[in-house]
Amino acid sequence: MNKKIVKKQVKENYFIRSLKESLAFVRESKKYILWAVFIFLAFALIGFFIPVPNFILEVIREKIKSLLLETQGLDTLGLVQYIFLNNFLVCLIAILLAFIIALVPVVLALTNGYVLGYVCRVSVNQEGIFSLWKLLPHGIFELPGVLIALGLGLSIGSSLFTKNPEKEFFRRLSLALKVLFFIVLPLLVFAAIIEGCLIGLLG
């Protein structure tokens, strides 16, 4: 058999096997992903309905101002790269630092949820309830990708409480990294392309 064909089959088999393992681990971690969704949505509702304390409001405003300065002058491709790298970094941190008893993914879930709730509140106050539909394309791929990563971070952190924590920790970490590259990464790429193009077109 031609060596090129054999190499191609090996690559295809590795990709298919890794994708199956990734999907299986996502199913295994379903309860942790649902917890990440719950924390995110709970704090999004808090950010939307409860007035933001002044000291938190200043932090959010400074963060938004910083983002605007960093993206000022970027073309569509630059925006796509910036959005992707920011989202990917959040997911990577949630997984790699999850050994701190899952504290990092929890903090990321509640802070990102809170900020989203605040942004939605401001949007509704300025343009009305129907302005929320404009935010939908921004989150259709991004939120599933980020929430899966946060859920996997919770799963890795909880491995410290299993019968064989060291073995279980590294098993979950290795599988979570596969999910990151075979499932989360494509979602973040699609999200970055959609958001970057929308921002570029709408200014």
Give the pLDDT confidence of 45-72 residue by residue, as tens digits: 999 998 878 888 888 888 888 887 887 7
Task: Write out the chain's pLDDT in tens, 203 residues.
Answer: 555 554 555 556 888 889 999 999 999 999 999 999 999 999 999 999 988 788 888 888 888 888 878 877 778 888 889 889 999 999 999 998 887 766 888 889 999 999 889 888 888 888 877 777 777 766 788 999 999 999 999 999 998 888 898 999 999 999 999 999 999 999 999 999 988 887 766 65
3-state secondary structure of 5: helix
Q: Give me the phi and psi of 138, to 5 degrees please.
A: -70, -25
Q: What are the respective helix, strand and coil percentages of the chain, to the nearest 5?
A: 90, 0, 10
3-state secondary structure of 101: coil
